[in-house]
C-alpha cells in the first residue's frame, strides 16, 4: 500500500512540475509577444514623426522595423505594409499621369524614403508568398547611386524612377515595371530583368553584362553605349530602341526583335542568333 501511495505521489508531483513548466513557457511566449508588440508600436510612432528636424527619429524607426523583421518573421508582412505605406505617402507620383513625366524627379528622394526602400528591397524572406511583392503604385522615386545589389524587386512598380548609377548587380527585377526609368550608368550585372517593362527607359552606359532580359519590353529604350556582353535577350522586344555603340558581344539574340532598332557602331561580334532573330536590313548578320 505504501508503495502505491509513493508512486501516486511521484506521479502527481511530476504532473504538477510539467504544468508549471508549461505555464512558464506560455508566460515567456506572452512576454516575447508583448515585447515585439511594444517594439513595433514604438517604431511606428517614430516613423510618424513629421518635419525635417525629426529625420533622425524616422530613420531610427525604419531601422528598428528592419531589426524586428529579422527577429519576428511572423510580423514581416505587417512591417512591409507599413514601410510601403510610408513611401507612398512621402514619394507620391504627381498629377497628371506618369506618362506625362519623361524627366526624372527634380530632387533625390528624402533620406528616410531612401532608407525605407533599401530596407524593403533587402527584406529577409522575399520568397514567402506574403512578402513577395512590394505595393508601391503611383510613387515617384529618385534613388541615384542607391546600393541595391541583390535586391528583391520582382513585380515592383518603379516606372519613371531615377536609378542613375545605382548598384543593382544580381538584383531580382523580373516582371518589374521600369517604364521610363532612368538607369544610365547603373550597374545591373547579373540581374534578372526577365519579362520586365523597360519601355522608353534610359539605359545609356548601363552595365548589363550577363543580365537576363528574356521577354523584356525594351521598345524605344535608350541603350547607347550600354554593356550587354553575354546578356540573354531571347524573346526581347527592342523595336525603336537606340543601341548605338552598344556592346553585344556573346549576347543571346535568339528570337529577339531588333528590326526597328538603331545598331549603328554596335558590337555584335560572336552574338548568338537563330532564324528568328530579326535585325535591321542594313546590319550584317552576326556570326553564330
Q: How is domain 143-288 classified at the CATH fold level?
A: Pectate Lyase C-like (2.160.20)
6: region left, alpha or beta (phi > 0 left; psi from -120 to 50 alpha) = alpha
257: region left, alpha or beta (phi > 0 left; psi from -120 to 50 alpha) = beta
- Per-residue pLDDT for the chain (288 aa), expressed as one digit of tens each? 565 655 556 666 666 667 667 666 666 666 667 787 899 999 999 999 998 899 999 999 999 999 999 999 999 999 999 999 999 999 998 866 555 555 666 678 999 999 999 999 999 988 888 778 999 999 999 999 999 999 999 999 999 999 999 999 999 999 999 999 999 999 999 999 999 999 999 999 999 999 999 999 999 999 999 999 999 999 999 999 999 999 999 999 999 989 999 999 999 999 998 889 988 876 665 444
The H or E element containing residue 43 is: helix 2-47
**133 SS3 class:** coil
Q: How far apart are the first and last CA of the chain?
A: 95
**225 SS3 class:** coil
The residues spanned by each domain of the chain are: 35-131, 143-288
Chain centre to alpha carbon of residue 230? 23
Amino acid at each position: 500500500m505504501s508503495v502505491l501511495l509513493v508512486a501516486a505521489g511521484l506521479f502527481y508531483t511530476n504532473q504538477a512540475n510539467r504544468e508549471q513548466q508549461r505555464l512558464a513557457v506560455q508566460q515567456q511566449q506572452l512576454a516575447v509577444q508583448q515585447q515585439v508588440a511594444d517594439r513595433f508600436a514604438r517604431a511606428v510612432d517614430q516613423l510618424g514623426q513629421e518635419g525635417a528636424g525629426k529625420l533622425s527619429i524616422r530613420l531610427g524607426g525604419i531601422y528598428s522595423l528592419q531589426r524586428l523583421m529579422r527577429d519576428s518573421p511572423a510580423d514581416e508582412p505587417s512591417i512591409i505594409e507599413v514601410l510601403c505605406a510610408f513611401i507612398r505617402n512621402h514619394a507620391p507620383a504627381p498629377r497628371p499621369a506618369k506618362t506625362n513625366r519623361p524627366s526624372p524627379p527634380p530632387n533625390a528622394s528624402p533620406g528616410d524614403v531612401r532608407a525605407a526602400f533599401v530596407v524593403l528591397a533587402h527584406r529577409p524572406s522575399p520568397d514567402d508568398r506574403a512578402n513577395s511583392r512590394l505595393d508601391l503604385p503611383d510613387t515617384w522615386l529618385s534613388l541615384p547611386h542607391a546600393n541595391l545589389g541583390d535586391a528583391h524587386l520582382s513585380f515592383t512598380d518603379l516606372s519613371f524612377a531615377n536609378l542613375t548609377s545605382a548598384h543593382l548587380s544580381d538584383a531580382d527585377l523580373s516582371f518589374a515595371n521600369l517604364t521610363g526609368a532612368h538607369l544610365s550608368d547603373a550597374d545591373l550585372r547579373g540581374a534578372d530583368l526577365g519579362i520586365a517593362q523597360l519601355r522608353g527607359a534610359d539605359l545609356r552606359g548601363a552595365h548589363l553584362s550577363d543580365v537576363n532580359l528574356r521577354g523584356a519590353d525594351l521598345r524605344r529604350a535608350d541603350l547607347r553605349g550600354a554593356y550587354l556582353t553575354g546578356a540573354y535577350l531571347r524573346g526581347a522586344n527592342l523595336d525603336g530602341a537606340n543601341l548605338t555603340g552598344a556592346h553585344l558581344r556573346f549576347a543571346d539574340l535568339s528570337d529577339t526583335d531588333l528590326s526597328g532598332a538603331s545598331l549603328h557602331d554596335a558590337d555584335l561580334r560572336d552574338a548568338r542568333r537563330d532564324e528568328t532573330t530579326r535585325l535591321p536590313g542594313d546590319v550584317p548578320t552576326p556570326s553564330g
